[in-house]
Amino acid sequence: MKNVFLKATILTIVVFVIGFFVGVFFDNLRLEEIKGRITEIDNLWNDARLLQSYIQKFSNITPHCEFLLDENLKLGDRIYAEGLRIERYEDTNRFAPFFDLEKKRYALLDLQFWINSIDLKRLCNADYSTVIYFYSQYSETPEQGFQDQVLLDLKQKCGPQIIYITFPADMEISTIEVIKNIYKIEKIPSILINESILLSSPVSMGELEKYIKC
Amino acid sequence: MDIIIDVITLIFTFISVYFMFLFLLLFFSHKKRFYKKSSIKNVPSVSIIIPVYNEEKAIEKTIKNVKKLIYPKKIEIIVIDDGSTDNTYKIIKKIRGIRVLTKKHGGKAKALNFGLKQAKGEIVACVDADSYPEKNALMKTISLFEKNVASVTTCIFVKNAKSLIQRLQRIEYLFIAWSRKVLEYLNSIYVTPGPMSLYRKKVLLKVGGFDEKNLTEDIEIAWRLLKHNYKIKMSLDTKVYTSVPRTLKKWWHQRLRWNIGGMQTNLKYFNLFLKKDFGSVGMFLLPFFSVSYLLSILGLFLIFYFIFNWSYLFIGSYTFGFNLMGTFYILPDIFLFLGIFVFILSLFYIKAGYKTMKRYIHFPKKILDVLIYVLFYFAIFPINLIHSFLKFLTGKHKW
């Protein structure tokens, strides 16, 4: 009879060991995928930046504005989609939760993209809105969870009408620290709209729509 | 909090998978013997004890039914009126061919012990006043009294299941019978059910009879017999029909009693935990029930956690105006793998039970009942268990 208990124990352990390896396999798969995708965006970003620099240096930017704005918004959408993917992968991963490095790379990309978007908006006199979301990477509150969802829905609703960028406010990225000082961001999460309006979270969809053209 | 939930989920899953494997292994290695018939070698004398308290509506039918039992020897039928305040005594007094004893009201266990002392048979069959064994019940069960077997239990069926709660109990009783048969192969049948169970009188007297303080004397006596290294068998093809609670309120009250009785028994024998010399009580039943209680509480905690989270999200989506569906997504990970595995294993488990009991199940007419049983009936148990536990701790429990 002892045999039955032993068999049941062995079978259960085998199932859990397989479960562990399946978990590790999928976690690593996601991690590698994210690394590849960020590298890809990095290339796209470099391409877009070089194009803009080239046009600014050797030609008049005004005739190219429509094209540049279009490309910038496409890149913005791509960065947003990848950000969403990273968040979901990070929430799911149990055995390979080493997303800090990737998140920093992603945040730096976001920063560069934001600065470029400000430039382009000024040079081309564009009318899209920028929504910058400062959130906490390490202490997620339910309030932040709600705000994440509201902003994701806003982006889905407005599409290319807004550029939505997220910054982890507590990842010790010096540029983000400087931006926080400039805009006097003390409370996290906070939302910065069009580099001028600062809202402290939680902000409802209805309230956000008052400030954003969508 | 996420890590705590992950750990609780893993513990919950590990224990569930382990016990499902254990039951399935036992089933597959013994299934051919489940309905094995054997003939009676010796014909022991049999006494049937029916304790009765305020059962004027059912008792006449029960006695008539018991009198029809087929057996090569004359059966002694003892009906003990436990101080009924209705017409029970008048009714049973008129019936011929039975021994009627009366005593001051003192509870079922006391009535059974009283009858036990009066019984002349080598085997005593205890039958509830609202239960109806089939004609061949004695022939089928007596043959299982091999050497060292102290008790034989029967397959209990729900009589006249009309309300939903009765129909759900009908399904439940089938699975209980199946699991009891499986547990026979670990010599761990933890209850000798009241509707009809048979005992060797000599053994019953030797171990001290039924515990008069326990709310579920049928659980306690089973543990005591196992503790003394006796065997308990299950006769899967012996049908006994019984009445079950008709309303949720009565059902709840009955389960409180069962749970509290189970807790009393667990506590009584807890000093035998993991001790080898006391049969399966120390090495299987106590760990099994301790883990079952833990599992129920963990399961309830997880259910409440998820309900709280979803409610919170729902309120948040309403207040802040975001789309609730956007928060749900599933990606492959260890929990998804284990979830799918547990689901498949559960199907095997249900299939094994169904395969054994299919002669008594009428599909697909009752498929809706099965769905309600699986989705909702199970979920009530942990809540009832918590209620029972609180009552047990505060000492507010009685028959």
Q: Where in chain B are the domains? A: 1-33+130-399
What residue segments make up the domains of chain A, in order of their start? 1-124, 127-214
pLDDT digits (tens, 9 = 90+) for B47-72: 999 999 999 999 999 999 999 999 99
Inter-chain CB proximity B29 and A4 less than 8 Å: yes
**Tell me, what's the pLDDT at B217?**
97
Q: How close does chain B come to A2, measured CA to CA in Å?
A: 10
**H or E segment to which residue B240 belongs:** strand B231-242
Inter-chain CB proximity B333 and A26 less than 8 Å: yes
**How far, in Å, CA of A52 to CA of A40, rounded?**
19
Superfamily name with CATH number, domain A127-214: Glutaredoxin (3.40.30.10)
Residue of B22, B1, B10, B2 lying closest to B298 (CA atoms): B10
**Tell me, what's the pLDDT at B191?**
97
Dihedral angle, C-alpha A117, A120, A121, A127, nearest 10 °? -90
Mean pLDDT of A53-60: 80
pLDDT digits (tens, 9 = 90+) for B226-253: 999 999 999 999 999 999 999 999 999 9
Inter-chain CB proximity B326 and A147 less than 8 Å: no
Q: How close does chain A come to B13, measured CA to CA in Å?
A: 9
Asked if B270 has any chain A CB less than 8 Å from its own CB, the reply is: no
The residue of chain A with its CA nearest to that of B332 is A26
Inter-chain CB proximity A94 and B317 less than 8 Å: no
The residue of chain A with its CA nearest to that of B280 is A1
Asked if B29 has any chain A CB less than 8 Å from its own CB, the reply is: yes
The amino acid occupying position B86 is D
292-321 of B, contacting A, C-beta below 8 A: 312-313, 316-317, 319-321
Q: What is the DSSP string of B62-87?
A: HHHHHHT---SSPEEEEEEE-S-SSS
Does the predicted model carry a pTM greater than 0.80? yes
Bridge-based pairing of strands A190-193 and B231-242 is: unpaired
The residue of chain A with its CA nearest to that of B337 is A19
| Least confident window among B10-19, B36-45, B216-225 | B36-45
Q: Token pair of B177, please? A: 């019978």
pLDDT digits (tens, 9 = 90+) for B322-350: 777 777 788 888 999 999 999 999 989 88
- Place A59 in a pLDDT band, splitting at 50, 70 and 90: confident
Q: How close does chain B come to A210, measured CA to CA in Å?
A: 14
Task: Using alpha carbons, list the distances in angstroms from residue B251 to A71, B258, B260.
Answer: 68, 10, 14
Q: What is the CATH number of domain B1-33+130-399?
A: 3.90.550
Who among B316, B323, B329 is closest to A88 (CB)?
A: B329
Who among B14, B337, B341 is closest to A23 (CB)?
A: B337
**Tell me, what's the pLDDT at B328?**
78
Q: How close does chain A come to B21, measured CA to CA in Å?
A: 5
Place of tokens 């049999």: B46
Chain B contact set for A8 (CB, 8 A):
18-19, 21-22, 25
Question: Would you call B207 exposed, middle or buried from its count of C-beta atoms within 10 A (0-12, 13-18, 19+)?
Answer: middle
The residue of chain A with its CA nearest to that of B313 is A146
**How far, in Å, CA of B306 to CA of B2, rounded?**
12
Inter-chain CB proximity A153 and B322 less than 8 Å: yes
Q: Residue B159 in 3-state DSSP?
A: coil
Task: Using alpha carbons, list the distances in angstroms from residue A111 to A90, A105, A135.
Answer: 21, 10, 14
pLDDT digits (tens, 9 = 90+) for B96-125: 999 999 999 999 999 999 999 999 999 999
Q: Name B212's Cβ contacts closer than 8 Å, sequence gap at least 6.
A: B106, B107, B109, B110, B113
